[in-house]
Amino acid sequence: MKNDIKEILKGEKVQYSTTVKGWVRTFRNNQFIALNDGSTNQNLQIVVDFNNMDEFLLKRITTSACISATGVIQASQGKGQTVELIAESIKILGDSDAEKYPLQPKKHSLEFLREIAHLRFRTNTFGSVFRLRNALSYGIHKFFQEKDFIYMHSPIISASDAEGAGEMFKVTTLNMENLPKDENGSVDYTNDFFGRAANLTVSGQLEAELAALALGKVYTFGPTFRAENSNTARHLAEFWMIEPEVAFNELKENADLAEEMLKYVIRYAMEKHPDDIDFLDARLAEEEKQKPTNERSEFGLKEKLNFMLDSDFERVTYTEAIEILLQSPAYKKKKFQYEVSWGIDMQSEHERYLVEKHFKKPVIVTDYPKDIKAFYMRQNDDGKTVAAMDILAPGIGEIIGGSQREERLDYLEKRMQEMHIPIEEMYWYLDTRRYGTCKHAGFGLGFERLVLFVTGMGNIRDVIPFPRTPKNCEF
């Protein structure tokens, strides 16, 4: 196996022969190759003795060519690197026509890079983003595994609408050019693959609940799909969600778990890839400089993350949050575009006010009006609210949504009826309430929103390798 450039650059050893493989970032003066192999944003400098190198080979060392270089690692004479490789031989593994290569060695906009998402992995920004994404993913498993949660694979194809919001993609093998119809003129799914209508799942929660009421503590971590036509910097049609579900937990313990998890995974990613955090911190600072002063954020990326680790999340009820908004200078000066009153589904401007202006830290809002929340949330004694919680993060808004679940069969059935959720079809969900029900709670963390938060990137399309959004399914 080749040596990772990341290991070599630690400079713990010098004066040894090795081979490295990677992609050329730049080739200066026919002498210095900056080679990157994806293990880090730092390039290894390869020193070429052009007098003793085949001229034709030198010409093939172009930006983005894939090469293998063998030589001796030495302490570097030059500035900017601890060690370098003095090349004895170079092989071209894959040529790259520098004239045609879409990623010229200059600054490209993120919008442009999105159009060449198949190549954007080769930039420093996306190298850092995807290494951090990986660390966050591993950190999540590490967190739950250390607590003896069972990782549960919830189905991706499902016949139920877990959120009851009807934003689902259909899964079918029916001939779309010639759909079978029943006597009422509706599509007849009996001859479809599953013998019924099926969808891509919007959430693994309901299945996770079934498992939690036997295994105790479970979590899912998988892709989920929403056919909501939201063209925003926070929404994807395909995103990854982490959904823990814990028997006997109530709302407070649910919130404690969520806060502990967020802090754990953020710390883990920061410790695992300090260089990438530094790089993105500088990138964001540079980007902020382009903005008018009053729009710049108060915190740098690292400051924000450290602050998050060091502070207790604020906890308020929805009713208190609305009161804060009504008392706010922003409301009094009519700065909000959307109305504020008890019962509204808070808009992102309201959430951002609470988090960024009022509390200046992550906020856990609990006990929302039942009419704006899903059927499975546990009803509070006031008859108006449910034991829901959303966690709002600076710059992101809602990063987690969760609740204590309605474990009482009669309450649940009544609520399902009111909300037109098909009770018969969901017999399996209700069975857990029939046979040994218990209090339980869980939440869903939108993985890409977490990656957005940790990388300081501004658009969710830039933290998933190949984003799926309305009118966009490239690659």
362 near ligand 4AD (CB under 6 A): no
User: Pairing state of beta strands 238-247 and 440-446?
Assistant: antiparallel
Exactly one of 152, 211, 241, 266 binds ligand 4AD (CB under 6 A); which one? Answer: 241
149 near ligand 4AD (CB under 6 A): no
Strands across the sheet with 314-317, in order? 150-151, 217-225, 238-247, 440-446, 397-404, 385-393, 363-369, 314-317
Token pair in block for residue 348:
């992102």
The alpha carbon torsion through 176, 182, 186, 187 (nearest 10 deg) reads: -30
Q: Which does 246 bind (CB under 5 to 8 A by kind): ligand 4AD, Mg ion, none?
A: none
Distance CA 134, CA 121 (A): 13
239 near ligand 4AD (CB under 6 A): yes
Measured from the CB atom, is 30 or 348 closer to ligand 4AD? 348
402 near ligand 4AD (CB under 6 A): yes
Q: Which stretch binds ligand 4AD (CB under 6 A): 122-130, 153-161, 235-243, 339-347?
A: 235-243
Q: Angle, to 10 degrees, between the axis of helix 124-146 and the axis of helix 251-272?
A: 130
CB of 459 to ligand 4AD, least distance (A): 12
Q: Which does 163 bind (CB under 5 to 8 A by kind): ligand 4AD, Mg ion, none?
A: ligand 4AD
Report yes or no: 242 and 445 within 8 Å, Cβ to Cβ: yes
Q: Which does 364 bind (CB under 5 to 8 A by kind): ligand 4AD, Mg ion, none?
A: none
Question: Of 403, 328, 332, 396, which Cα lies nearest the Cα of 361?
Answer: 396
281 near ligand 4AD (CB under 6 A): no
Residue 194: HSE in the Cβ half-sphere, 13 Å Cα cutoff? 12
Report yes or no: 128 and 276 within 8 Å, Cβ to Cβ: yes
User: Pairing state of beta strands 170-171 and 66-75?
Assistant: unpaired
Q: Which does 400 bind (CB under 5 to 8 A by kind): Mg ion, ligand 4AD, none?
A: ligand 4AD
Measured from the CB atom, is 168 or 399 closer to ligand 4AD? 399
CB of 446 to Mg ion, least distance (A): 9
CB of 376 to Mg ion, least distance (A): 13
CB of 237 to ligand 4AD, least distance (A): 7
399 near ligand 4AD (CB under 6 A): yes
Q: Of 175-204, which residues contact ligand 4AD (CB under 6 A)? A: 203
Distance CA 170, CA 389 (A): 29
From residue 406, how far is each of 205, 244, 249, 368, 434 by CA, in Å?
A: 13, 16, 12, 14, 12
Q: Which does 259 bind (CB under 5 to 8 A by kind): Mg ion, ligand 4AD, none?
A: none
401 near ligand 4AD (CB under 6 A): yes
Exactly one of 226, 304, 361, 440 binds ligand 4AD (CB under 6 A); which one? Answer: 226
Specify the DSSP class assigned to residue 356. Answer: I
Collect all residues with Cβ–Cβ distance below 8 Å to 242 and sequence separation of at least 6: 140, 219, 220, 221, 444, 445, 447
Report yes or no: 441 and 254 within 8 Å, Cβ to Cβ: yes
Q: Which residue of the chain is nearest ligand 4AD when measured via CB?
A: 446
Measured from the CB atom, is 132 or 237 closer to ligand 4AD? 237
Q: Which does 399 bind (CB under 5 to 8 A by kind): ligand 4AD, Mg ion, none?
A: ligand 4AD
Q: Which does 201 bind (CB under 5 to 8 A by kind): Mg ion, ligand 4AD, none?
A: none
User: Pairing state of beta strands 198-200 and 150-151?
Assistant: unpaired
Report yes or no: 338 and 349 within 8 Å, Cβ to Cβ: yes
Structural element, H or E, at residue 143: helix 124-146
CB of 236 to ligand 4AD, least distance (A): 4
Q: Of 425-464, which residues contact ligand 4AD (CB under 6 A)? A: 442-444, 446, 448-449
CB of 124 to ligand 4AD, least distance (A): 25
Measured from the CB atom, is 95 or 260 closer to ligand 4AD? 260
Q: Of 390-429, which residues contact Mg ion (CB under 5 A)? A: 401
Binding site for ligand 4AD (CB under 6 A): 162-163, 203, 205, 226, 228, 235-236, 239, 241, 243, 398-403, 442-444, 446, 448-449
Binding site for Mg ion (CB under 5 A): 401
